[in-house]
Chains A and B, each alone.
Chain A
Amino acid sequence: MFAYIIRRVLGAIPTMFILIALAFFLIRAAPGGPFDTEKKLSPEIQMNLDRIYHLDESLLHQFARYLWNIVRGDFGPSFQYQDYTVNELIRSGFPVSLQLGLTAMTIAVFIGCSIGVFSAMKQNSFLDHGLMSAAMLGIAIPNFVLAPLLILLFAVNLDWFPAGGWNGGLLSHRILPVICLALPQLAYIARLMRGSMIEVLGSQYILTARAKGLSNTTIILRHALPPALLPVLSYFGPAVAAIITGSVIIEQIFGLPGVGRYFVQGALNRDYTLVMGIVIFYGTLIIGFNLIVDVLYGVIDPKVRFH
C-alpha cells in the first residue's frame, strides 16, 4: 500500500503541472489586467508597475519564474491586497474555511448516514417518505437562497445568531454558515445511504445473517453498514469539492474571512498571483482527498487491492 501511495503522489505531479500551466495562461488570456480600472493609469505609471510585478517580461519567462517560486513554496505578492503575500492570505483564510468545511462535512456524514440507514430500515413507511421529501428539498434549495432566509429568520427577526462576521470563530457565528454548508450535502448523503442500504439489505448474505439469528443491530452495524458506505465514500471527493465551492458563496454572504472569497475576488480583479495560489491550493487539496478516499476504499472493501 505504501508503494501505491508513493506512485499516486508521483502521478499527481504531471496533473498539477497541467493545472498550473492551464490556470497560468488562461488567467492571462482573459482580457484586462490587474491594474485596469475605470481611472486609467498614465503609460509611465503602468510601465513602472509592470516592472515592479515583472509583467514586462515575456510570458514564458514569467511562467518559468513562477514555477521556480512555487517549487520554493512562494506564491508571490498579491496584486490586489498589496500589504500581504498570497501565502499569508491563504494561511489566514484557510483555517476558517477548513473549520467550516470539516464541521459541515462531519455533520453531513453522520446525520446523513443515520437518516439514510433509518429510512432504509423503515422503507416506504410514512417516516421514510417524509425524510426523503425533506432531503429532496434540501438538495433542491441552493445555499445562496437558504442563507439569506436563515439570516432573516434567525438573525434579523429572532435575534438568536449574528447575521454575519466571524469574530474569531465564536460558536454563535459558526452555526448558520455550517448549517447552510452542511444541509445540501447532508440531504444528498441521506438519499445515497438509503439507496445503497436497501440494496445491501436485500442481498443473500444478510438473509444468511438473519437466518443465523443475529440481532438486527449487529446485522445493520457489522454486516450491512460497511459495504453500504462505499458509495458514500466515493462521493466524498465530489463532496469536498462541493463544500469548497459552496463556501465561496457562504463566505461571501456571511462575510467570513475564508479562502473561498479570494477565489472570486482574485478572478474578478485579475489578481494573477492570488488566483494561481488558490487554484494550486485547491488542486492539491482535491487530489489529496481523492487519494485518501481511494486508500480508505481498500481498507473497507476487501475486494479492492492496491496494485
Chain B
Amino acid sequence: MKSLTNLKKNTFYYLGLVFLLISCSSEESYENKQVSSHAGQNISQSVDQVFRKGNGAEPQTLDPHKAEGVPSSNILRDLYEGLITEAPDGSLMPGAAKKWEISPSGTVYTFQLREQAKWSNGEPLTAQDFVYSFRRSVDPATGSKYSQILSSILNTEDIIKGEKPSESLGVKDLSKYRLEITLKAPTPYFLGLLTHSTTYPVYEPAVEKYAGKFARPGNLVSNGAYRLDEWVVQSHITLQRNPDYWNDSETTINKVTYYVIEDQSSELRRYRAGEIDWTETIPLGETAWIHQNLADELKISPYLGTYYYGFNLTKPPFKDNRALRAALSMAIDREIIAEKISGLGEIPAYGWVPPGVMNYTPQRFNFRSMEKQQRLAEAKRLYGKAGYSEENPLNIELRYNTSENHRKVAVAVAAMWKKTLGLSTELVNEEWKVFLKNRKQKQVTQVFRAGWIGDYNDAYTFAELMYSSHGINDVGYQNPHYDQLLAKASLEKQQDKRRLLLEEAERVLLSEHPIIPIFFYVSKSLVKPYVSGFVGNIMDHHHTKHLRILDH
C-alpha cells in the first residue's frame, strides 16, 4: 500500500511539473500539499526522534553560497529552503515559494512567497531577503565557486566578470512577498536549479554583522526545517528542529547529527556498532560481506553520473582517428566491469546521459545490439583499419587517479584490450590534483579516467561538458555541428523540440567516440531498518524532515 500511494503522489507531482513547464503560464498551485512517505505507519512516541548520519568529509562551509561538495550540501538541505524544494523521490515541489507564474516568453518567473515562512529567529522571510541573497551569491567579492549555476539569470555573467554591479542582477522584489526573476533565455530546467544551495536565502543582518563567521552556531539564522546547534570541526555537526519553520508540523525528527567520517571502513564499523543510522557510502572491498550480512539494509539507487574514459583528441594517436577510438570502445565488455568489478548494480553505459533524466530519452551506441563476438570482430576490423595489428600493436598510457577501485577497472580494461586487439597498455596512476592538472593541460594524457555527476536533473548538464569551449572539456572535443545543436537547444523554449535537439547532439557525440562511457553510477548506503522514509532518487538528495525513527 505504501509504495502505491507514493507512486501515485509522485506521478502527480511529476505530471504537474511537466504541465507547468509546457504551459509556461500556469497558475497551478501546490500550496499545502505534502508528500508523505510514511503512510500507514504510526508515529512512535517511545523512541527518541534522533537521527545520526555518516557524512563523509568535513563540510567545507555552511555558507550556502560558497558551499560545494556533497558533505556541505547534505547539511544545507536541512538548514535552508530555496524557492523550490524536493520531495523524497527528488521531484520538485514548492519550497519557500508557494506558487509561481512563468511569462509566455519563458524568461520571466514571478514567485509568490509563503507569508507564514519565517527565519529561525522568528523574523518573516521576504522577497527582499531573496534579492539580497541572489545578489550576494553572484557578487565577485563573495567568492562563490558555484555562481556559474545562476548564469541563466539576466546579467549574472557580467556581474561575475566585474563588469556590472550586483544590483543589476535580474532578480527584484515586486512586493513584500512577490519576487520576480528574469532570465537571459528560456531555461526549461530553471526551477530545478532553484533547489541548489547557491539560491538559498541568507539572513542579511547576520551576514552583515558576523561576515565570515555568520555560518556558526549562535550566529547562523536559517529558514529550513532545522537550525544549527553545534559544530565540532572534524567530529560532528548537530542540528535541532526549527519550530519556526512554516511546515514544522510535518517534521518528526527532533535532532540530527552529521558525523565526519572520511574512512569508509571506519564508517562501516561505526554503523555496525550502532553509532550511526545511515552511512554515506560503503567500502567497495566489503561488498561481498555486506551482501551476505546486511543485504536488507543496503540501499542502492541509480545516480545521475557517468564513469567514463576520455581520449585526448588533440594529440596522436587518437587525434582524427575515429576508427581507433571506436575499436577501443567496442572492445570493452561493460557487463563484466559492471557486474564483476564493482558489483553493486552499476548500469553498463552505452551512452553519455544516464537513464532517469527528466524529459529525455538517453541515446545509445549502435553496437549495443550486436552479439558479443560480432562486436569484438568489428572492433578488430576497425583497429586494423586504423593501421594497427597484432604485429604492429599500439602502445598507450591509461591514466587514472590513485584509488583501488579505479585501478581494478583499469586492469580489466587493459586486459580486454590486450585480449581482443593485442594492444599493450601502461597503467599510470597519479595523485588527484596532479591528475586533474594533467588532464586539463592535455599534454601527456592519452586515455584517462573521468567521471561526471550532473549538477541538476537535465540532459544539458551532461551535454554542455563536450561543448568546444567548456571548461571541463578535457578530451578537447571540437565539433561545430554539436556546438550548434547545443546553442539551439539553450534558446529553445519548447520542451519537445529542445529534447530532440539534445538527443541529436548525443547521437552525434556517440558516433564520434571522443569518450568511452563505462558505467552509470549508483548511490549506495546502509540504512538501519528503523529509519523510515528512505526513497532512493537519482540526485541522491535526502531531507531529514521526510524521515522518522520507528520503534526498535
Chain A residues proximal to chain B, CB less than 8 Å = 30-33, 35-45, 48-49, 52, 77, 80-84, 89, 92-93, 148, 151-152, 155-156, 159, 162-166, 251-258, 261-262, 265, 268, 270
Contact = CB atoms under 8 A, between A and B. Distances in A.
A257 B161 contact: no
Interface string B107-147: 00000000000000000000000000000000011011101
A164 B261 contact: yes
A68 to B, nearest CB: 21
Contact count band on B: 35 or more
A223 B296 CA distance: 66
A165 B270 contact: yes
B233 interface: yes
Nearest to A80: B60
B143 to A, nearest CB: 5
A83 B273 contact: no
Contact of B269 (A30, A89, A148, A166): A148
B262 A162 contact: no
Given A32-B436, A77-B212, A152-B269, 19 more contacts: A30-B434, A32-B432, A32-B437, A36-B433, A41-B145, A42-B148, A42-B160, A42-B471, A45-B147, A49-B143, A82-B66, A83-B61, A93-B234, A151-B269, A163-B270, A164-B270, A165-B235, A255-B234, A255-B266
B58 interface: yes
Given A36-B436, A151-B269, A81 B145 contact: no
Nearest to A82: B61
Given A77-B212, A255-B259, A262-B234, A40 B269 contact: no
B234 A261 contact: yes
Interface centre among A30, A77, A93, A163 (most CB of B within 10 A): A163
A36 B472 CA distance: 11
A258 to B, nearest CB: 7
B451 A255 contact: no
A56 B263 CA distance: 35
A146 to B, nearest CB: 14
B234 A45 contact: no
B110 to A, nearest CB: 29
Contacts of A77: 212
Contacts of A84: 233
Interface of A is mostly: loop
Interface centre among B141, B162, B269 (most CB of A within 10 A): B269
A262 B265 CA distance: 19
Contacts of B437: 31-32, 36
A50 to B, nearest CB: 10
17 contacts: A30-B433, A30-B434, A32-B432, A39-B68, A40-B471, A45-B144, A45-B147, A48-B162, A81-B60, A93-B234, A148-B269, A151-B269, A163-B266, A165-B270, A253-B266, A256-B234, A270-B433
Nearest to A249: B263
Contacts of A252: 262-263, 266
Contacts of A83: 61-63, 212-213, 215-216
Contacts of B216: 83
Nearest to B61: A82
A92 B269 CA distance: 26
Contacts of A44: 140, 157, 160-162
A82 B273 contact: no
Contacts of A261: 234
B331 interface: no
Contact of A32 (B265, B433, B472): B433
Contacts, number: 146
B152 to A, nearest CB: 14
Nearest to B261: A255
B260 interface: yes
Contacts of A256: 234-235
Interface string B146-165: 01100000000100111000
Interface centre among A32, A151, A155 (most CB of B within 10 A): A32
Contact of B266 (A35, A45, A164, A262): A164
Contacts of A80: 60
Contact of B272 (A52, A81, A163, A265): A163
Contacts of A36: 433, 436-437, 440
A48 B434 contact: no
Q: Nearest 6 pairs between A and B by C-beta?
A: A32-B433, A163-B273, A40-B471, A257-B235, A257-B234, A82-B61
A48 B148 CA distance: 13
Contacts of A39: 68, 455, 472
B266 A81 contact: no
Contacts of B471: 40-43
A81 B68 CA distance: 11
A255 B268 CA distance: 12
A301 B168 CA distance: 76
B67 to A, nearest CB: 9
Nearest to B262: A252
B57 interface: yes
A48 B262 CA distance: 30
A166 B257 CA distance: 14
B221 to A, nearest CB: 15
Contact of B145 (A45, A258, A268, A270): A45
B275 interface: yes
Contact of A81 (B143, B233, B433, B472): B233
Nearest to B140: A48
Interface in B198-237: 212-213, 215-216, 232-236
Contacts of A49: 143, 145
A261 B432 CA distance: 18
A255 B270 contact: yes
Contacts of A257: 232-235, 260
A81 B147 contact: no
Nearest to A78: B60
A82 B436 contact: no
A251 B60 CA distance: 19
B379 to A, nearest CB: 29
Contact of A162 (B143, B147, B273, B438): B273
